[in-house]
């Protein structure tokens, strides 16, 4: 709006000068037709409105670009999150299996190293010792 006011004033001055020089001049002889202030103001207002519309469309385009970028990022994040959940499920299943094995081995260890554990060990290892051999258990 600040730049429009000097432009309107300069065109209005040109208009006033042209009226003083040739008050009844027709459009064919005058290269600059006579423009009244209202026509000039409406022309300038239309130009300003066109600039505002252009700027509005540019801003809208930028906002749509940013929104689409955000949506694409959210979709990528959701896929990455789903993949991470799947991996977590797989790892949790492996941990459960290994925990069950550990629990079984701990029970066996406790059973072998309590009273009477040497007898239980000998009973388990029958298939390893040939019948004509002497069994030795170190203490």
* Mean pLDDT of successive 10-residue stretches along the chain, which has 139 residues: 55 64 51 76 93 97 98 97 97 97 92 79 68 70
> What is the count of structural domains for the chain?
1
The reported pTM is: 0.46
Domain for residue 11, yes or no? no
Domain for residue 135, yes or no? no
pLDDT given at position 122 = 72
DSSP 21-70: H-TT--TTT-SS----HHHHHHHHHHHHHHHHHHHHHHHHHHHHHHHHHH
3-state secondary structure of 136: coil
Domain for residue 4, yes or no? no
Domain for residue 94, yes or no? yes
Domain span at residue 106 reads 36-127
Residue-wise pLDDT for 57-67, tens only, equals 999 999 999 99
Domain for residue 15, yes or no? no
């Amino acid at each position: 709006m600040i730049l429009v006011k000097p432009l309107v004033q300069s065109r209005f001055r040109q208009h006033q000068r042209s009226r003083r020089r040739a008050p009844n001049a027709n459009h064919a002889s005058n290269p600059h037709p006579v423009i009244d202030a209202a026509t000039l103001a409406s022309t300038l207002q239309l130009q300003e409105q066109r600039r505002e519309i252009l700027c509005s469309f540019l801003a809208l385009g930028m906002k749509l670009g940013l929104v689409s970028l955000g949506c694409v990022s959210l979709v990528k994040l959701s896929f990455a999150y789903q993949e991470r959940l799947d991996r977590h499920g797989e790892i949790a299943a492996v941990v459960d299996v290994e925990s069950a094995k550990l629990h079984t081995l701990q029970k066996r260890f406790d059973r072998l190293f309590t009273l009477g554990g040497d007898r239980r060990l000998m009973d388990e290892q029958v298939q390893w010792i040939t019948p004509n051999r002497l069994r030795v258990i170190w203490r």
